[in-house]
Amino acid sequence: MALSYTLKDNVSVEPKVTFLRISPNCKRKTLDDIFTKLSDLSWIKKLTPLPLHSSFEVRAKKTLDKITEIINESATLTPADAVVTDAAEYIVSVLAQEAIVNELKYKDVPLPEVYKQQKSQNPGFDFFFINAQDILIFGEAKFQTGQNAYGSALEQIARFIQEKNDLADLPDLYFMVPAQVVAKVSNDEKGYAAAFSSTSIKTNVLINNIKNNNDYPSVKSYKELVLVAVDMS
């Protein structure tokens, strides 16, 4: 199921660095659509072996139950398009992945939230996709109320690279991506995506601020970096 958003900008910042800016057309509706999208578990039968189908379904149900709670909590808010913080975080991560796949024509990978065994002390990346060169891109999404959260997203990616969380994520991705794509990651052929909440700041100012961020040089030094600003204000 396609999610509804408006593409505001698609900019080549420099070689191997792309900037997308999008806006959800309606946050409440987007949240409902995310639930519908994640409820489609047909990928389990397509990508995973039969003995593990039930296991993946159990993990997915926990996530869907959590999103149901978030939807219900958001519905109690007075403003027509208001959502709780947990909902906003889902919108940033899922909508960013959707935009990357649609606008750059990259390959989708099931959202890890629905298949990973969650470990609060060992967090991993929020979303993944495969680019045109069959390079696996590890995505991190951050939401901060009323802020441009690119600094938080880039800092988290830099820390995850240092801690080798990308390598730690590979067992969970074993059934989700082709073996040759996983092999490239082991050879340090990989890329990253930073998705983040954004305000009404002008795009050129936002891009310049990102380029001046301390973590930007290290994060962009791999095969590709995709930046996705999601206007949430």
Instruction: Kindly report, residue by residue over 206-229, the tens digit of the pLDDT.
Output: 999 999 999 999 999 999 999 999
pTM score, two decimals?
0.94
Give the pLDDT score at 117.
60
Give the pLDDT score at 121.
41
Token pair recorded at residue 116: 């990973």
Give the pLDDT score at 123.
64
Residue 63's nearest CA partner among 98, 35, 42 is 35
Domain that holds residue 75: 5-231
* Residue 139: strand, helix, or coil: strand
3-state secondary structure the chain: CCCCEEEEEEEEEECCEEEEEEEECCHHHHHHHHHHHHHCCHHHHHHCCHHHHHHHHHHHHHHHHHHHHHHHHHHCCCCCCCCCHHHHHHHHHHHHHHHHHHHHCCEECCCHHHCCCCCCCCCCCCEEEECCCCCEEEEEEECCCCCCCHHHHHHHHHHHHHCCHHHHHHHHHCCCCCHHHHHHHHCCCCEEEEEEEECCCCHHHHHHHHHCCCCHHHHCCCCCEEEEEEECC
Quickly count: other Cβ atoms within 10 Å of residue 46's Cβ: 9
- In the predicted model, residues of the chain with pLDDT beneath 50 are 119-122
**What is the number of domains present in the chain?**
1
